Structure 1
Amino acid sequence: MDKQQEFVLRTIEERGVKFIRLWFTDVAGTLKSVAVAPAEVEGAFAEGIGFDGSAIEGLARTSEADMLAMPDPSTFQILPWRGTVDPAARMFCDIATPDGKPANADPRNVLRRALDKAAKMGFSFYVHPEIEFYLLKGTELGPDGQPVPVDNAGYFDNVPGGTAHDFRRRAVTMLEQLGISVEFSHHEGGPGQNEIDLRYADALSMADNIMTFRTVIKEVAIEQGVYATFMPKPFTNHPGSGMHTHFSLFEGDRNAFFDAAAPYHLSIVARQFIAGILKHAPELTLVTNQYVNSYKRLWGGGEAPSYVSWGHNNRSALIRVPLHKPEKSQSTRIEYRAMDSAANPYLAYALLLSAGLKGIEEGYELGAETEDDVWSLSDMERRAMGIESLPQSLDHAIRKLETSDLAAEVLGESVFSYVLANKRNEWAQYRSQVTPFEIEQNLRTL
């Protein structure tokens, strides 16, 4: 038994923890949980906890049903919302087959494989997400058929006595109790819309943190009598909720994206990484934006990127190179702006990292930056500049992913096939619906 496992067992005993929740994420990005008693934890470390993998979205076929959840002791945390009476804790798990091998369809393992490839190239991968969400008075719709936000405030607004202040303070406190560092929190542009930015961390830890973050936000909302949603576009006339994510590669302690003599201090490695993501972004969008509703955000305005371009501090570009202090080489990074806050972070980060690494491996050339507001250009102007669009619907994104050799390789056969099958089913269900828009437009005129 290693020292981390011993620490977990000792803490459970000293803190009187009564329940330990073993967490993992299915291919669709839903958090799964099984609670075990303290007496079972030592055995779980040694042998795992068996479960029926075929009952979990995308994890295994019926013929391969037996799976093991192997708890990762480095992720042990007491859950602050459970209080001090019969306290509970959690650990994330890696999923294994009965012979102890990592399960190919475990999203955590998909990301770990991509990180292992980066490590073989000499890189570690760090991410810093800006996570947006809406706070609503409940799930019931208002008289206008729209959700009802908790306030009518806007970007960076200070609302004395407002729900959002208390909510963010409680949420940030709870996140930090879980060991998740928060950099900023503020009101976003939509009514009831908020953003909390997590301090950068390695990609695997951050993916775990994002899954924990969503749970914390939901729990705090319940506690405060409101409802939190990560739906990409809950309002027709207000901005969608994105998860802009900053990326950087390090070689040891050195930022591989920094070159003091280069324009914007972007090294050749950084430029090739950007070129890799830009080249492959359309075929990966089904994973970074995985719902029908995701495309209402991408094509509904509100600063969501719709076109494949990059720019220095250009917020209409898919990839933005933020301003930073020239003397701070460690802060050189890029920001990917398409991903929404409902994505499966393990799969999304694995694919974006792999696209960037492919750009480095194959020496992709980065085209000219886009200084114009891409949204304001005409289709003809964009074509002349060689600016491609992202998929315009879930169906379009499915067809793009189907042709992606990169995604098939990174995700593995089982995850790749499941994602496509799952999303084809969602599109078929959506396509068969008669919407209020159609009734309003056509019922009285046709």
Structure 2
Amino acid sequence: MDKQRDFVLRTIEERGVKFVRLWFTDVVGTLKSVALAPAEVEGAFTEGLGFDGSAIEGLTRAYESDLLAHPDPTTFQILPWRGEIDPTARMFCDITTPDGEPAVADPRNVLKRTLEKAAEAGFTFYTHPEIEFYLLQSARFGDGGPEPVDSAGYFDNVPGGTAHDFRRRAVRMLEDLGISVEFSHHEAGPGQNEIDLRYADALTMADNIMTFRTVVKEVAIEQGVYATFMPKPLAGHPGSGMHTHMSLFEGDANAFYEAGAQYQLSKTARKFIAGLLRHAPEISAVTNQFVNSYKRLWSGDEAPSYVSWGHNNRSALVRVPLYKPNKGQSARIEYRAIDSAANPYLAYSLMLAAGLKGIQEDYELPPEATEDVWSLTDAERKALGYEALPSNLDEAIRLMESSELAAETLGEQVFENVLRNKRQEWVGYRAQVTPWELRSNLELL
């Protein structure tokens, strides 16, 4: 760590860095940032930077407000969108109390704790997200709703289109930040795009996702458009998910792979899937944390609404991708409910904890869904045992309230803060009179 700190200090001097931004998130996943002068960075390494945690959503209670942000030197990167004018760098932070203890309400620390539990069981957790988002003409909208930058569809090639230039610029910027991109393309909705990040350990990936969102927003501003990770910004068009491929490794060996097994899925993988399925409804208030998230899940646009798994079945909540011969190290599963607005630190913590619970308690994997789950009737789904995910945020909150897994994984303070934040959102939403209600009822009633 000392060598890494020395590297950071030396790079700041050699590259003429004028500002260093310290980044962390609140419980919702909103990025927080404070800029340091270069001369203050060494002191931040040794002592941390003090701030009022009670002013950050869910980070601490008012009577214990003093917290310290400790920059992680391994996350140091120069921000490419700043260019050569006042070069600026960033580092993610770990949050502690004044006596040096990790802050229990720090989302990054929640994920670290869960990863340590996995490590105690001999596992390293890797993730690979497919992140969808919309490009709009602006954040303003009229009666017709937000206006997308194009009317293209899935994998469409749009000569001279905004999305091409946008993706090229965003991908180059991500690569400059050391974030490897697997591929990018236009998605099914008008103005909707997807960029897939190459797999990494879950903590690195959660940091990468937060950086990714910032890059996408910055490139959009640069190109005169607006980017949104809202789960369902356009009625009648697909929502934006963050399908996440996951695998556990034991040392250098993929613990999800077993040659000769069905779909080459090991017993460990099958139990992990069983854990994800059993606990998916009760962690939905984190993986799908907004009122709007449930418009994506229940709008009929290929989002998974029912608890099921299948081999290459895109209607299933958990999909086992097509196996590539002689590539056992790439064995993985895909969780399809999580959306692009989730706090990755908390969501990945709960997804991992659910899978580990399945392994530790020897959960039995239910039968595979071989049919199109969406096309089944309610009676058929009930007969097959396909439980529904929550239909709205209120239902998700109620399920999470009684979840031992969520309470244990998040810790008491984060658990209560997430629930309080979500209850406030539901109360605010419930009090609204929507344009749909006015159109449907004003003249009729």
Normalising to structure 2: TM-score of the pair? 0.99
1:18-76, CA deviations, whole angstroms, 9 ceiling, x for partnerless residues? 00000001111100000001110111000000000000000000111000000000000
Q: Which residue of 2 aligns with 1:291?
A: 290
The amino acid that maps onto 1:73 is P
Q: Which residue of 2 aligns with 1:97?
A: 97
Q: CA deviation at 1:325?
A: 1.0
Q: CA deviation at 1:85?
A: 1.7
The amino acid that maps onto 1:112 is K
Q: Does 1:180 align with 2:179?
A: yes
Q: CA deviation at 1:265?
A: 0.3
1:298-354, CA deviations, whole angstroms, 9 ceiling, x for partnerless residues? 000111000000000000000000002121001110000000000000000000000
- What's the secondary structure of 1:416's corresponding residue? helix
What is the CA–CA distance in structure 2 between the aligned matches of 1:300 and 1:330, rounded to whole Å?
36
What is the CA–CA distance in structure 2 between the aligned matches of 1:85 and 1:420, rounded to whole Å?
43
Q: How does 1:253-332 map to 2 (within 5 A)?
A: 253-332=252-331
Q: Which residue of 1 aligns with 2:409?
A: 410
Q: How does 1:19-418 map to 2 (within 5 A)?
A: 19-142=19-142, 144-418=143-417
- What's the secondary structure of 2:147's corresponding residue? strand
What is the CA–CA distance in structure 2 between the aligned matches of 1:331 and 1:171, rounded to whole Å?
26
1:344-375, CA deviations, whole angstroms, 9 ceiling, x for partnerless residues? 00000000000000000000000110011101
Q: CA deviation at 1:165?
A: 0.2
Equivalenced residue count is 445
CA contact (8 A) 2:264 2:323 kept: no
Instruction: Mark the runs of 5 or more structure 2 residues left unpaired by the alignment.
Output: none
Q: CA deviation at 1:86?
A: 1.3
What is the CA–CA distance in structure 2 between the aligned matches of 1:206 and 1:383, rounded to whole Å?
36
Q: Does 1:424 align with 2:423?
A: yes
What is the CA–CA distance in structure 2 between the aligned matches of 1:175 and 1:168, rounded to whole Å?
10
1:248-283, CA deviations, whole angstroms, 9 ceiling, x for partnerless residues? 000000000000021000000000000000000000
1:363-390, CA deviations, whole angstroms, 9 ceiling, x for partnerless residues? 0000110011101001110110011000
The amino acid that maps onto 1:35 is A
Runs (4+) of structure 1 exceeding 2 A deviation are: none
Instruction: Mark the runs of 5 or more structure 1 residues left unpaired by the alignment.
Output: none
1:83-133, CA deviations, whole angstroms, 9 ceiling, x for partnerless residues? 112100000000000001110000000000000000000000000000000
Root-mean-square deviation (Å): 0.6
- What's the secondary structure of 1:147's corresponding residue? coil
What is the CA–CA distance in structure 1 between the aligned matches of 2:139 and 2:119, rounded to whole Å?
44
The amino acid that maps onto 2:260 is A
The amino acid that maps onto 1:108 is R
What is the CA–CA distance in structure 2 between the aligned matches of 1:154 and 1:185, rounded to whole Å?
14
Q: Which residue of 1 aligns with 2:11?
A: 11
Name the % identity: 76
Normalising to structure 1: TM-score of the pair? 0.99
CA contact (8 A) 2:110 2:346 kept: yes
